[in-house]
Structure 1
């Protein structure tokens, strides 16, 4: 459930197990939160696609067998922050331009193109890959 805090931050944070079948579930939850907050449909498409790519990367590259991956979407002061955190803190993502003959390898490249800013941070026994999107107009929470 999306929440509104006293300082008007809207946040939805949830966890999924490291299984490919959880990607559509997470995508739907992110999309629903964005819709409830009144985020523009085109921007919501970019954010949802980015969430899909970051979660897929975490599932594919996290070396912890039974990992729980945390997805957080928050809005504050005209910015939307998407964070995907997994417990494989030693393996950091690398942005690389995909070659035209590769079937994969475009996820992080795509996120970098869609987001206004992206990066990663090391946390105790975990890493967080994040993407920040500027929201052109203030959103209003309708949930």
Structure 2
């Protein structure tokens, strides 16, 4: 019995499982890749019992959307993937990490009152996360932008 390429690709994706503590997934640095990363993270949150509409699920979804969008917009290097890592922390929190290949381009936040475009999405990340920051990408060139969503996310 043979399988179609579509079935083979689908089976290669990480499965959201309730008993796993980490979901790690490489995605193409494109809008489509960012959407897939966000969707997989939402499925993993559901598997962990944090369903759509709950504060933790929605905070992770918004934070991941911003970080993945930044990775594909500002961190893209042709031929290099971005990476999502979602992990449960002790106490019920969730750590969201998005890595890209551009270590020299660190994220910048801008005040809402400035006339410049961009940079305001990180204000949302800061409002929803207990803490966030950047670190060198482990084992590869680039950087990782991370955020920790507490069991009950901070609402500003």
Output the TM-score relative to the length of structure 1.
0.82
Answer yes or no: is 1:125 the counterpart of 2:125.
no
Answer yes or no: is 1:67 the counterpart of 2:80.
yes
- Structure 2 residue runs of 5 or longer lacking an equivalent are 1-14
Listed one character per residue, the Cα deviations across residues 6-35 of structure 1 (whole Å, up to 9, x for unaligned) are xx7611110110111222222211111001
Q: Select the structure with the greater relative contact order (CA < 8 A; seq sep ≥ 6).
A: 1
Aligned match of 1:107 in 121, 127, 151? 121
Cα displacement (A) at 1:100: 6.5
- Structure 1 residue runs of 5 or longer lacking an equivalent are 137-143
User: Superposition RMSD on alpha carbons, in Å?
Assistant: 2.0
Aligned match of 1:92 in 89, 96, 106? 106
Q: How many residues are aligned here?
A: 133
Indicate the structure (1 or 2) with the bigger Cα radius of gyration.
2
